[in-house]
Structure 1
């Protein structure tokens, strides 16, 4: 199976297991900059050179060797599950993608037909009932994760623990896992522990939010989107994410972690 979703700098200074919707665009750009002294011109997910990726055939052997030998600092980044699933909805379901089309072609029309979701459109200013549509999307997301129908779960709303575990199960080990909510501190600790060809000043790095500006803005506070049923579904889907990564299930409006991540616990529980 190898190491899907894994990126490595060309200098092999660091290895990153991508977790979608957890600042992955900014992290990828920082890795690119640390080798080349410039940011990639475009979405870093589209880069086919300047950064080793498991999806690139020529990179796989290099990544596999570095991971097996633990030759580079290895890290990933996590995010509050409430905020992450909301971000997935507003970006991938309600938003228009960079190519000017809806995500995954017929996915949104299928959700409109099968789940009664309404996401508006740019012509009406994305005028729709955000709360009702999000809750229906959550039912769909649960169905994909629990029963793998009407489709396989998408990487943007499948559990963070699932992404992170594949790396461990296949022989990798993390040196650091940090929080999106304290991003500068987390990425600064990574950079402090590696030697890069080009120094990076984290305070000067812009945020590369590739989905921003292509869809509706969230109109309400986080807790307004989650009634009792929604929270039941969230716990069903993301129980391991809340527990392993120390997020507050009881208060959806508290985006901050409640404690530090225990790397030994993560490796023990996700390495089974």
Structure 2
């Protein structure tokens, strides 16, 4: 049987009480993803279990997906049109540091669809053809063009949750990124990151990059062609190359995207569910949906 997230069912106690008697840290490393179901969690009662699952919650600094902050380092899941799939990825794998775990909370399940697929990072890596793995072996270079208040994509103020240029510069210097301010007030950031990483406890090597999401090929032929007509690749809001600056073939990133989705397992939400994942061992995404859906995310 293929890998599945481990489900823990409510036993009449509040989730926070259940968590105090459960070895969550060990379970998460062993099972990689945990679903807490039937505990009657609501958005109003979320803080107590969240404090136990996510000590030292992190802000979504340097995040590239559109979200709304709804609490103390709590955000809506990626605000992307409901009819589209969000492909598999590990949160902030393109950054110098990333959260070790993510927690999702389903405040309202969609009318239909809207599952959160999760994929075992070891399986994802092993599913790729050998030439693709070899091509990525030296890593990837991510480039962002963040506008200063008006333009395509996200602004640097939104991305770094500050309007203090010195704070942004200090953050980027600490992450060994190359950066420059643009004449129009925007910010260009470039950084080289590995394509895989190893889990700090298990030592397992996993696929760990977002090249497929940053590559124009993932936008679909029509959108990619339209963008190519109005701006060169280096001026796109985000783009990716191999670490040496050479282009990544579209078929490589399409294979990465498709193999991740092929080996993913859906977590089909019920209102009140809590999902905890190891952000290194497991990638996640989103299936299309109909109706309103509210899923919150926090990270630690």
Query: TM-score surpassing 0.5?
Result: no
Greater share of residues in helix = 1
Higher relative contact order (CA 8 A, sep 6+): 2
Greater share of residues in strand = 2
For the aligned pair, the TM-score class normalised by the smaller chain equals under 0.3
Give TM-score scaled by structure 1 length: 0.27
